């Protein structure tokens, strides 16, 4: 089994291994799937606009013409050089066709397959893994460190620098979809134009929308401020838009950990501003965090955190509906905050 993660991908893009010819890119982050597929195709061809060297198709195209994939792999570019064949929206229905070309002659072609959020042990992953020239590349939602790398890449490519508080704001507010995050950063670069001063927090706040869906943070804010009507509305909006219960629980966990840490410092007599800073809460969130703490001690947040951790455990082990368990946990947090 050959699986590429970020370091291996970076190394391959710099110096492509000609022994790797079949790539399956899949995962939750559709934007990152597309971005990586494009970059891998460009290791074989100079442009994705050249119809002689680059071919794009979908699984629906193969349903109409099952031989199309094999024909394209075996074709030779009229202008010489390698060709890139990109198969998008691959599903289990295409497995038989993909299996039939695993032993094809890939000396002049690479095959890049895009799939959605499939399991690591799915038949499609196993099929590509069985090929001696195959590579699988999972694309998970961007984590903070991944976003930091993306921010650095886009800003440095534009020959700009960025202030640390602006970077932190971006890490907090960019979403987990790579394509949307890159669009927001490109918009920021365009906003700066020819100006060569560092990107400031003010610049970022003027341009960047909250790609991670404001309704998620509306849920957290309502729960931590004891706003029961607002919580119900925000939860309805979040679940309607497809947010997962686990994601909501994880996000409020992180918030509660920071608030617990800050409250612990305050319990020891440290001033509010110093406690928030020592807890690692970004400056632009200090006002909100102060309202969420509002006289509550560390024990309060420890209890709240245990409620959320127990809810996540129940979501994974009991078989009860995740949404119901998540709603109950957030309601308990909101009621506890309302009583104080």
State pLDDT tens for residues 324-336.
999 999 999 999 9
Phi, psi angles (nearest 5°) of residue 116: -90, -145
The answer to whether 110 touches 17, Cβ cutoff 8 Å, is no
Whole-Å CA distances, 252 to 15, 53, 256, 258, 312: 41, 48, 6, 10, 11
Count Cβ atoms below 10 Å from residue 49 Cβ, excluding itself. 8
Q: Is 220 exposed, middle or buried (0-12, 13-18, 19+ CB in 10 A)?
A: buried
CB 110 within 8 A of CB 41: yes
pLDDT of residue 212: 47
1 domain-assigned: no
Identify the weakest region by mean pLDDT among 140-144, 166-170, 303-307. 140-144
Asked whether residue 226 falls in the same domain as residue 190, the answer is no
* Cβ(207)–Cβ(190) below 8 Å: no
232 vs 113: CA distance, rounded Å:
41
- My answer on whether 107 and 165 are in the same domain is no
DSSP bridge partners of 88: 58
Contact 16, 126 (CB under 8 A): no
Tell me, what CATH number does 201's domain have?
1.10.8.60
pLDDT at 142: 58
* 159 and 173 within one domain: yes
Q: Which of 183, 207, 231 is the last residue of a domain?
A: 207
Q: Which residue has the higher pLDDT, 318 or 177?
A: 318
Give the SS3 label for residue 147.
Answer: helix
Number of independent structural domains in the chain? 3
Q: Which residues contact 166 (CB under 8 A, 6 or more apart)?
A: 198, 199, 200, 201, 203, 204
**CATH code assigned at 31:** 3.40.50.300
Is-contact 26 115, C-beta < 8 A? yes
pTM value? 0.51
Backbone dihedral angles phi then psi of residue 89, each to the nearest 5 degrees: 60, 40
Other CB atoms closer than 10 Å to residue 147's CB: what's the count? Answer: 21
Tens of pLDDT, residues 177-233: 777 788 889 888 888 887 889 999 988 887 775 544 456 778 998 999 999 999 998
As a whole number of angstroms, the distance between CA 274 and CA 280 comes to 10
Is 292 found in the same domain as 183? no
182/223 same-domain check: no
Nearest in space to 30 (alpha carbons), one of 141, 189, 158: 141
At 102-144, the pLDDT tens digits run 999 999 999 999 998 888 889 999 999 999 999 999 987 656 5
Residue 42, token pair as written in the block: 């460009």
Say if residues 279 and 258 touch (Cβ distance below 8 Å).
Answer: yes
In this predicted structure, what is the pLDDT of residue 294? Answer: 87
- Provide the token pair at 38: 């494009």
Q: Which domain holds residue 258?
A: 214-339
Q: What is the average pLDDT across 44-55?
A: 91
Same domain, 12 and 129: yes
Q: 114 and 61 in one domain?
A: yes
Q: For residue 340, what are the CA distances in angstroms to 260, 294, 295, 333?
A: 16, 9, 9, 11
């Amino acid at each position: 089994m050959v699986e590429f993660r970020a370091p291996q991908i970076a190394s391959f893009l710099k110096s492509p291994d000609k022994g790797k010819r079949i790539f399956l890119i899949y995962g939750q982050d559709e934007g990152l799937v597309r971005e990586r597929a494009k970059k891998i195709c460009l290791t074989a061809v100079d442009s994705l606009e050249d119809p002689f060297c680059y071919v794009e198709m979908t699984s629906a195209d193969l349903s109409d013409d099952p031989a199309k994939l094999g024909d394209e792999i075996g074709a030779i570019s009229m202008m010489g050089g390698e060709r890139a064949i990109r198969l998008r929206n691959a599903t289990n229905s295409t497995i038989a066709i993909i299996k039939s070309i695993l032993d094809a002659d890939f000396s002049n072609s690479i095959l890049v397959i895009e799939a959605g959020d499939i399991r690591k042990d799915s038949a499609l992953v196993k099929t590509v893994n069985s090929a001696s020239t195959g590579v699988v590349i999972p694309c998970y939602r961007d984590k903070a460190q991944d976003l930091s790398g993306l921010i650095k890449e886009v800003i440095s490519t534009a020959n700009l620098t960025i202030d640390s508080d602006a970077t932190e704001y971006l890490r907090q507010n960019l979403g987990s979809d790579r394509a949307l995050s890159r669009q927001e950063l490109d918009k920021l670069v365009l906003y700066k134009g020819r100006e060569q001063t560092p990107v400031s927090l003010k610049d970022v706040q003027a341009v960047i929308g909250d790609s991670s869906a404001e309704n998620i943070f509306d849920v957290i804010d309502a729960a931590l401020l004891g706003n029961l009507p607002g919580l119900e509305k925000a939860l309805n909006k979040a679940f309607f838009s497809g947010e997962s219960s686990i994601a909501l629980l994880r996000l409020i966990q992180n918030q509660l950990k920071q608030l617990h840490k800050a409250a612990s410092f305050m319990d020891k007599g440290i001033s509010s501003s110093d406690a928030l800073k020592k807890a690692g809460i970004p400056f632009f969130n200090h006002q909100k965090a102060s309202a969420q703490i509002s006289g509550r001690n560390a024990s309060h947040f420890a209890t709240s955190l245990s409620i959320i951790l127990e809810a996540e455990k129940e979501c994974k082990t009991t078989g009860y509906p995740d949404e119901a368990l998540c709603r109950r946990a957030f309601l308990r947090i909101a009621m506890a905050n309302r009583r104080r």
